[in-house]
Amino acid sequence: MREAIGRLAADGLVELLPNRGARVADISADDMRAAYEARLVIEPAAAALAARRRDAGALAAMRGAIAAHRAWTGDVRAAFNANRDFHVALVAAAGNEFLVKFVEHLWARRIGLRIYEAQRGSAALIATDADQHEAIAAAVEAGDARAAERLTREHIGGAMGTLLEHL
């Protein structure tokens, strides 16, 4: 039990309180903004590395996530999972396990799912995300590191703007 709570604390899902136990961690607007800022540093650079590697398996994972995202039926968790899967696959395509661990932490469900819940029912936003993911994957597949980096930066920056509007 201690190990499980320690892992949850490491993921930012619970806060450990000295001599009192643990509680579910609060998510502030600053937490969400900070996560996006960190993603803006990591993910565009990882996209450029991915374009240089052009790993077929990683591209297949990205395409699968895009297909799952496009198949959205209103289930916010499913849309979030597909979106997260795309971004983690993109970073995994860079071939650097440290980057993957950083991004998995940034994509902790407590932050990302809250953002998606704020966009509940927005088929237009989901479709726009999928279109942008498709463009990023195409740049990676073409080996165009500059385009992959730029498109990823624009995508995350735009999502950050949408988030800040909802806050």
pLDDT band, very low/low/confident/very high, at 126 (cuts 50, 70, 90): confident
pLDDT of residue 134: 97
pLDDT of residue 49: 98
13, two tokens = 């899902």
- The answer to whether residue 54 scores a pLDDT higher than 90 is yes
Query: In whole angstroms, how far apart are CA 39 and each of 69, 115, 165?
Result: 20, 14, 18
In whole angstroms, what is the distance from residue 117 CA to residue 143 CA? Answer: 34
In whole angstroms, what is the distance from residue 77 CA to residue 95 CA? Answer: 27
Query: Are the CB atoms for 49 and 94 separated by under 8 Å?
Result: yes
Mean pLDDT of the chain: 83
pLDDT tens per residue across span 10-32: 666 556 667 777 665 566 677 77
- pTM for the full model? 0.82
- The domains located in the chain, with CATH, are 29-166 (1.20.120.530)
pLDDT tens per residue across span 99-124: 998 888 777 655 666 666 665 557 77
Closest residue by Cα to residue 118 from 161, 76, 155: 76
pLDDT of residue 162: 74
- The answer to whether residue 154 scores a pLDDT higher than 90 is yes
pLDDT band, very low/low/confident/very high, at 61 (cuts 50, 70, 90): very high
Closest residue by Cα to residue 129 from 70, 59, 58, 51: 70
What percentage of residues in the chain have a pLDDT greater than 70? Answer: 75
